[in-house]
A and B are shown apart, each in its own frame.
Chain A
């Protein structure tokens, strides 16, 4: 079941929109913002609300990178694996990050704090290597800086 708030927010997006599918991604984002991810049940609820089939909606949810169909941690760490970050030696820094968290790509820490995802170039090449945690950008990374940043978010 979608909550009253979720319905209201989606309805607001629908105002002036061309049709329901054109705001489907917005709807997914609204609900994901509240629930962290889109479960099968949630997907069916949103689809019904937008008068789409679950398959139609899932074909979008699985195509775009930032709709999560599995649970994620409280914070998502997006690690830029773009070419400039690679040239700037991101591999050793990210090995350090994985070791610190004790997880691999796509995994979530046991305490549910962090999920680690590789991501295409985030447009911070002048401060490579870079990562984003949720919507905050961190650049010019070193192993020491990674430790500090993790401490901030624990």
Chain B
């Protein structure tokens, strides 16, 4: 395989500079940037764009894995009844363990901007937002500059490339709260309300921002779109080792030799990711557990290492691909302490709207803290298990609390002996 062919296999990151500086508009154009937008506006109808993205099997990279083309096709045709229609990049990336969107936005901000414009054209939207988390100051600077450059080059604003299509993009910097990443909470946040999730239906595509159509996609998802339009759905599907199309930004963190993020074919195995790319566990430590896709996914074990990292395979193994950003638990790190850290996060970030989440998560957090500090009781394990059932989807308003229960329920299953030892010995055996 030639270098050129190999680099074509990494559409999201291949053009990025090695010095950490972002691609400017000229460099981005030289790498084929904005060709996809030109092609869409010149040769394709909005419907054609949606068809192409549907055929590419692109699935949402924010964690839920919803097919992107299907999401877009739920936006009603523009009958002129709404004064504005919106397309939004969810760049809030607050899932603990996730830092993939940051790498894409810092290294290649135009790619996201182009993806958002194409998504806007496909859904006939005239306003775009990039909803960016507060901590990503460098991304903010670089996106701001990219947006200005795109206006200057005629890729944004009125009558883009003389196509008759117009779009304005606004960069919205969030003021914090994990729940903003939930798409309906994000919409409330843009409207200037507390970021509390909404009930569905109506779905955002019909009634999103100020009662008008809005479609929300993850930043990595949108970054894929220019390449799909430029190179076609068949090419995109062929990048993948599984039924889901394309490449994926995978990451590994924890006590491994080489923590980091890599763009790899969708569906590589956990083993390959952990050993070939992250260099394996640090000397003197052993693998005890894996959280495959960010804080709100179930633990898996060494026996699952040959699982393909795609949406369906990870689900079959008992967890979720989520954000594709793995967190490693080693044998010298306390699983009870780790789960306590996770539940403290979820408890603090509950928006407080529904009772099971607002009351249940702090209860779970306190109980785990007591066990970790050697003050647990035998019946605590049963009460924790009861919470993993009580905070299931259907009992809560959104998936925040059910997501929080995923690492807890699997930890109680896989690391039960550790919980019991804490309670019996009245101390944390790892300290």
Chain A interface (Cβ < 8 Å from any Cβ of B):
18-25, 28-29, 59-60, 63-67, 78, 81-84, 86-88, 119-128, 132, 135, 137
Contact = CB atoms under 8 A, between A and B. Distances in A.
Contacts of A124: 99
14 contacts: A18-B209, A25-B192, A64-B177, A81-B345, A87-B254, A121-B345, A123-B101, A123-B102, A123-B133, A125-B97, A125-B251, A125-B325, A126-B251, A126-B261
A67 B176 CA distance: 9
B68 interface: no
Nearest to B137: A135
A21 B348 contact: no
Nearest to A134: B137
Nearest to B98: A123
Contacts of A64: 174-177, 195
B93 A21 contact: no
Given A87-B255, A87-B327, A119-B176, 17 more contacts: A22-B190, A63-B194, A63-B195, A63-B351, A66-B175, A66-B176, A81-B341, A82-B96, A83-B291, A87-B329, A87-B330, A88-B254, A88-B255, A121-B95, A122-B135, A123-B94, A126-B251
A65 B175 contact: yes
Nearest to B100: A123
Contacts of B295: 82-83, 121
B317 interface: no
B52 interface: no
A25 B251 contact: no
A126 B134 contact: no
A126 B106 CA distance: 15
Given A83-B341, A84-B97, A18 B210 contact: yes
A28 to B, nearest CB: 8
A120 B327 contact: no
A18 B389 CA distance: 42
Interface residues of B, number: 53
Interface string B205-217: 0000110000000
Contacts, number: 125
A17 B159 CA distance: 21
A126 B194 contact: no
B386 interface: no
Given A84-B96, A87-B329, A123 B136 contact: yes
B403 interface: no
Contacts of B330: 87
Nearest to B325: A125
Contacts of B251: 125-126
A123 to B, nearest CB: 4
Interface in B171-200: 173-178, 189-195
The residue in A21, A23, A60, A119 that gathers the most chain B C-beta atoms within 10 A of its C-beta is A60
A66 to B, nearest CB: 5
B94 A125 contact: no
A96 B325 CA distance: 29
Contact of A82 (B97, B259, B328): B97
